[in-house]
Amino acid sequence: MKHRIYRHKPVLFCLILFFLLSDVFLTGCSRRTEPQTETGFYFNTVISITVYHPKDAVYLEDCFSLCDTYEKMLSRTVEGSDIYRINHSSGEPVAVSEETARLLEQACNYARLSGGKIDPSVALLDDLWNFSGQAGTESAQKRIPADADIQSVLPHINYKNIHIENSTVTLDDPMSQIDLGFIAKGYIADRLKELLKANGVQSALINLGGNVVVLGSKPDGSPFTIGMQKPFDEQGKAIATLSLSDSSLVSSGVYERYFRQDGRLYHHILDPASGYPVENGLLGVTILSGSSMEGDALSTTCFVLGLTEGMKLIESLPDIEAVFITEDYQLHPSSGLSGKLFEATS
């Protein structure tokens, strides 16, 4: 299997989902289907793209070029990006790309769907907690922000302050700051899938830091088997597996970025109303969908809604399935996953 680090930077957080390698890497197949993989570091995470025919490897370079384009467009920390310019506009209108405007509209739609429990203008609060780069590990350097600091930024978190007209974005509150972290990776994964498909690639696996998208099936026609990570398991064991063909699997959970203080867990999924991590008895939510952007946004949305309201939302949406993991490590699948979810035996 070809393996090359396309961009080299320190790894800041682990993958959410782990592949079951014995199933993914096609044992017993001919050499013509030997996987070709490229890895890199974008969007503050390790990403990997695998194709299963040697002729398709030529398109991997194009995929990483596209990742670079989107990082320079959507990252709030890359100077000159669309989001950076909006955040530093002091409330003045900013002309952005059509893609940025559409994605920001989608982010606001999910904010409305959640009743404001997720919000793309949460960046100031994210900065206070500073979970960036803190994936699946604990650190004594992390600390709880002062409550006064938290309360000072909460009035500036309101997606309704984001006005989009054609490709112009205006922040009514100049202090507001946008972060598309709960939706951008899913959007980009979908665009990577489109790029490969447009070039005739029939079998591929895309992993953007746990946002997993599969194009088609494996070359032998069988589905990919993807493992859902068991929360907090240091060996990265799977708690369950799902079979995927031409679809997406995305998870959000308390075990991705967190720290403990005085015996209490603090994680990166923050409540815009209180300013503190969401506490609702869930460890994680995994979404199975056709669109990774939809799965990305819904995984966070359903987590903050909780088991009852989150499941109600999933059951109301066509062609979307979910698995909720509660604090007792019990799995709660949506009705459409009956017979398709396989719990790990150990």
Give kind and range of the element (H or E) at residue 87: helix 82-87
Burial class (CB in 10 A: 0-12, 13-18, 19+), 134: buried
Q: Are 103 and 180 in contact (CB under 8 A)?
A: yes
Going by C-alpha positions, the residue among 97, 41, 34 that lies closest to residue 64 is: 41
Q: How far apart are CA 213 and CA 249, in angstroms?
A: 6
Going by C-alpha positions, the residue among 202, 197, 240 that lies closest to residue 218 is: 202
Q: Is 300 annotated as a binding residue?
A: yes
Give kind and range of the element (H or E) at residue 94: strand 94-95
Q: Is 301 annotated as a binding residue?
A: no
How many C-beta atoms surround the C-beta of residue 346 within 10 A? 4
One-letter amino acid of 154: L
User: What angle do the packed helices 98-113 and 60-74 form, to 10 degrees?
Assistant: 70
N- to C-terminal Cα separation, the chain: 29
Known binding residues for Mg(2+) are: 296, 300
Known binding residues are: 296, 300
